[in-house]
Structure 1
Amino acid sequence: MSDAGNEKETTMSSLQDRTPFGAVPARMAPTLPNAMVAAALAQLLDEADRALPHNADAVRGLLARASAMLRRPAAPAAKRRTGRLAPWQESRVIAHIEANLQEPIRVEHLAALVRLSASYFARAFKASFGDTPHEYLLRLRVQHAQLQLLHSDVPLAQIALDCGMCDQAHLSRVFRRATGTSPSAWRRHHSRPD
């Protein structure tokens, strides 16, 4: 690989290391259809704009995520939909997950929302998003917890409940597995001195 290629990888790696969400492994970065990429990029840029005056680290993280989405190679159109959820199914499932993040969400219920069997849905979901439904849900819950830790002084026990975790210990286990640190240590590290 050329030096320019190595430099690009190093730059992306260093940007991801500075994100408030930590580095996101490539396998956890879902491949999305163009319309969803555009919507996700617009949302990331809006969040970055709102966070700019308050938290430069959050802005760097959001911009790194947007940059990674733009650099992800697109799958050929003919192969992209094979074995995946249809765009309307993806939208419906994601909207339901985001609206009910604090509630228990079962694969059977998600499958019923898009009129599929649970086993086929689980395979199609993984093909569409790169994660199993459970992994995807946990990742969203950790990101939601990170946002609350970053922007509020809410106790960890309440954040755990708001994120759909059973209790603070459950949040701590999942959070540590995803980020390599405990929620309280992550909050201390990312809080700005006043």
Structure 2
Amino acid sequence: MLHESQAMVRQEHFYYIQQAISTTQVSSLLADMRKSLDADLNLARRYLDQLSALFEEETEIGVPEALLLPRRLDEHGTSTKGGLAGWQVRRVTAHIEQHLDTSLVTEELARVAQLSTGHFCRAFKASMGETPHAYIVRQRLRRAQTMMLKTRDTLSQIACACGLTDQAHLTRLFRRAIGTTPMLWRRDRQHAA
């Protein structure tokens, strides 16, 4: 049930960002957010993130943020009881970003945060809203999306540059997260540009 609702949120996210910004979209997102405020604050935050993405400028590398997967599920930035300290979040996320093209293991990330592996996993999930593995996959897919838009590299080259084993691995993860294949996603974005 939870997996289905996450898939629906992802589909809704990409539905909204693929359209031009319109009053109807903004109204719809606001209505969905209001409905979810009482029932599910995380879902309300995601709707707010989607709404924000509609108005955001391009990322520092020139790719519209709204075209990419969200940086993380839970970006409200407040300190969570049992979560990582701010310095730990910054160090771990910077380490992940710098080493996305390599194999990242939880033990290594725990050392960066100066915590035991078990404590790190619990604290990371409390702070970020997802497991370290899910976060790493999200960042790899964001990098792949950026590379698909900014380079002419093959999908196989992109997969390797993002720390994935091969193009099939990239395709499987991409389809699960975004609902389409990398090749179709890239082609649709290139035709739109």
Q: Describe the superposition over 1:95-147 as per-residue Cα deviations: whole angstroms up to 9, x where unpaired.
A: 10000011100001100111111111001001111010000000111111111
Tell me how many residue pairs correspond in the alignment.
152
**Are residues 150 and 110 of structure 1, via their aligned partners in 2, closer, same or farther at CA, if it must alter by over 3 Å?**
same
Unaligned runs of 5+ in 2: 1-11, 21-41, 47-52
Given that residues 145 and 163 in structure 1 are in contact (C-alpha distance below 8 angstroms), is that contact kept between their aligned partners in structure 2?
Answer: yes
Alignment of 1:117 with 2:129, yes or no, is: no
Q: Give the TM-score of the pair, scaled to structure 2.
A: 0.65
Q: Partner letter of residue 80 of structure 2?
A: R
% identical aligned pairs: 38
Alpha-carbon separation, structure 2, partners of 1:100 and 1:59? 21
Alpha-carbon separation, structure 1, partners of 2:170 and 2:13? 29
Alpha-carbon separation, structure 2, partners of 1:146 and 1:13? 13
Unaligned runs of 5+ in 1: 1-10, 20-25, 31-40, 52-57
* Aligned counterpart, 2:185: 186
Q: Partner letter of residue 176 of structure 1?
A: R
* Aligned counterpart, 1:140: 139
Q: Partner letter of residue 150 of structure 1?
A: L
Alignment of 1:15 with 2:27, yes or no, is: no
Q: Partner letter of residue 159 of structure 1?
A: I
3-state DSSP of counterpart to 2:175: helix
Alpha-carbon separation, structure 1, partners of 2:130 and 2:113? 18
Alpha-carbon separation, structure 2, partners of 1:174 and 1:60? 19
Given that residues 15 and 61 in structure 1 are in contact (C-alpha distance below 8 angstroms), is that contact kept between their aligned partners in structure 2?
Answer: no
Q: Compute the RMSD of aligned alpha carbons.
A: 3.6
Q: Partner letter of residue 136 of structure 1?
A: Y
Q: Partner letter of residue 139 of structure 2?
A: L
Alpha-carbon separation, structure 1, partners of 2:65 and 2:114? 39
3-state DSSP of counterpart to 2:59: helix
- For residues 26-175 of structure 1, the aligned pairs below 5 Å read 45=57, 47=59, 50-51=62-63, 58=64, 61=67, 80-175=79-174
**Are residues 112 and 48 of structure 1, via their aligned partners in 2, closer, same or farther at CA, if it must alter by over 3 Å?**
closer
Q: Partner letter of residue 94 of structure 1?
A: T
Given that residues 107 and 133 in structure 1 are in contact (C-alpha distance below 8 angstroms), is that contact kept between their aligned partners in structure 2?
Answer: yes
Given that residues 149 and 187 in structure 1 are in contact (C-alpha distance below 8 angstroms), is that contact kept between their aligned partners in structure 2?
Answer: yes
Q: Partner letter of residue 130 of structure 1?
A: G
Q: Give the TM-score of the pair, scaled to structure 1.
A: 0.65
- Cα distance, 1:81 vs. partner? 3.4
Given that residues 149 and 186 in structure 2 are in contact (C-alpha distance below 8 angstroms), is that contact kept between their aligned partners in structure 1?
Answer: yes
